Amino acid sequence: MSLDDKTILITGGTGSFGRAFLKRVLSAYEPRAVRVLSRDELKQWELQQEFGDDERLRFLIGDIRDLERLRIAFRGVDIVVHAAALKQVPVCEYNPFEAVQTNVLGSENVIRAALDCEVERVVAISSDKAVSPANLYGATKLCAEKLFVRANAYVGDRPTRFACARYGNVAGSRGSVIPLFMKQASTGQVTITDERMTRFLITLESAVDFVISCVSEMRGGEVCIPKTPSVRIVDVAEAVAPGAERVSIGLRPGEKLHEVLLAPDEARHAIELPDRYVILPDQPSWSTLAPWPDGEPVAEGFEYRSDTNQWWLTVEEIARIAKTL
């Protein structure tokens, strides 16, 4: 499916991903309209100043907790990208009821509204923290994934299909470590939770391209995972704040030493393609749009981990990414 001549809605559209998504879609495609749904009127105003009077843009104030608002916003929409969430691990730990209301029940509302309005394709953005979650944020994203996969069973004769895009840390996104190290660099000291830590890293532009490809290629009920490089936290510190003293402060509550994007239990239903892994739905009760071509089943017990990944960024490569932020 092409994004040309489609009406697209993105929830949480004023966030880091949403802004990058808008730039890419408006410059590379010819959508009929792009609707930005978010709670923050100031950020919407700022986006309007940035994009000027582009007649394709629509700015909608609303919260994914409000099902009736979503039903109105989704009318006439062909594609929904669900990016709205409470994403900061400490915030979710301290405000667990709010995290569940937004990330779980809000996701359910997105599904219900999409079904009611017969949206053709819906992709939810997930996280590596949804795999064997160690914190509430990860648990809510795992629950949201399960909702979106099984939402296809509620489709009936509607054209709607649901899928997920799961990836790791986004370079430069709000709350991520690179901006923190940039801020600390001037002090000559950076704080590191554990020097053994590794993470997957994806640029914002690559994340946008991947989600758009998921919209185009999804069949219904799958979780798509891009092949991305890993980084060592000490290499990130050296790239962003060269020569700075590193102070170890210990792992935060709910924080992992390494992240996993594809767990061994999921490997039983996963296939590998040149640029991604795809976790296929287990015994779907719905008809998928078409089989995935050319995919090869992954080995039994396969695990896609940040510390055993075969693709690593060097300090120089991380530094080049940081300079673009």
CATH of domain 7-323: 3.40.50.720
Which pLDDT does position 3 carry in this prediction?
Answer: 96
Q: Is 129 marked active-site?
A: yes
Determine the residue type at 173.
Answer: S
169-170 vs 245-248, strand pairing mode: unpaired
Taking only the tens place, the pLDDT of each residue in 135-180 is 999 999 999 999 999 999 999 999 999 999 999 999 978 767 898 8
Residue indicated by tokens 């946008």: 208
* Domains of the chain by residue range: 7-323
- Least confidently predicted of 61-75, 112-126, 177-191: 177-191
Which pLDDT does position 253 carry in this prediction?
Answer: 82
**Residues 224 and 296: beta-carbon distance below 8 Å:** no
Select which of 87, 129, 141, 256 is catalytic. Answer: 129
d(CA 16, CA 207): 11
Residue indicated by tokens 């929904």: 80
Taking only the tens place, the pLDDT of each residue in 205-260 is 999 999 999 999 999 999 999 999 999 999 999 999 999 999 999 988 888 999 99
Taking only the tens place, the pLDDT of each residue in 34-51 is 999 999 999 999 999 998
d(CA 299, CA 285): 25
Which pLDDT does position 150 carry in this prediction?
Answer: 97
The angle at the Cα of 120, spanning 118 to 125, to the nearest 5 degrees, equals: 110
User: 163: closest CA among 275, 278, 85, 270?
Assistant: 278
The angle at the Cα of 221, spanning 136 to 12, to the nearest 5 degrees, equals: 50
